[in-house]
Amino acid sequence: MLVGYDGDDLILRSETEQRRAESYRRFTRSWERGGRWSMVALPPGVLPASATAGEVVRAVEDARTSIGRDGVMRTLDAAVARWPADPLVLFASADEAYARGDPDAAINRYRSLTVLDPDHLAARNNLASLLLARGCADSAERAFGDAGGDALAPEVAPQIAAAVKDTAARIARARADSRPADTMAGDEAPRCP
């Protein structure tokens, strides 16, 4: 890695050498043989100009442990700002918002995704599950729609199929509950979007 220069020499760093001086001429010949590749490390929340939505989501997952939860969310927020209609970005950011304990943001992003892609089964399932957790059975049922039908497409991943069936059963139990729909015991009513 090129880390500086000293007169006519470039200063390089590697796993085995902290500081190695190399002539500019030797460095450029070696760099040329290596295809002249380079890398720029950006702080969380700053996206490369040439990145695609999929590349950013994959990079966030790869860097999750090194940039931390706040860095992940800042980067995904920046991705949503750049690609507000990208299903992968919306889904990843909704999942992260939920994991961070921000169900309002998660609900908003899952809802945006289901408007853009009504057939996004995982988003519909997760949205319905969050609404159920709030006590909003009617809203959950509307968001879920026919996602829990008996005949799930064979290409649906087993994990998603199991989650969808579980959510369908939870909606059915909530609907069968004697409480009025979308209300909770006591005086407090849930916020049901």
Secondary structure string (H, E, C) spanning 83-123: CCCCHHHHHHHHHHHHHCCCHHHHHHHHHHHHHHCCCCHHH
- Residues 44-81: pLDDT tens digits? 999 999 999 999 999 999 999 999 999 999 999 999 99
Report the distance separating Cα 166 and Cα 163, nearest Å. 5
H-run or E-run covering 72: helix 53-82
- Residues 79-138: pLDDT tens digits? 999 999 999 999 999 999 999 999 999 999 999 999 999 989 999 999 999 999 999 999
What's the pTM value of the predicted model, to 2 decimals? 0.76
Per the CB < 8 A criterion, the answer to whether 123 and 132 are in contact is no
Mean pLDDT of the chain: 88
Which listed CATH number (1.25.40, 2.30.29, 1.10.8, 1.10.10) goes with 43-117? 1.25.40
Q: Give the start-to-end residue ranges of the domains of the chain.
A: 2-33, 43-117, 118-193
What would the DSSP string read from start to end of 160-174?
Answer: HHHHHHHHHHHHHHH
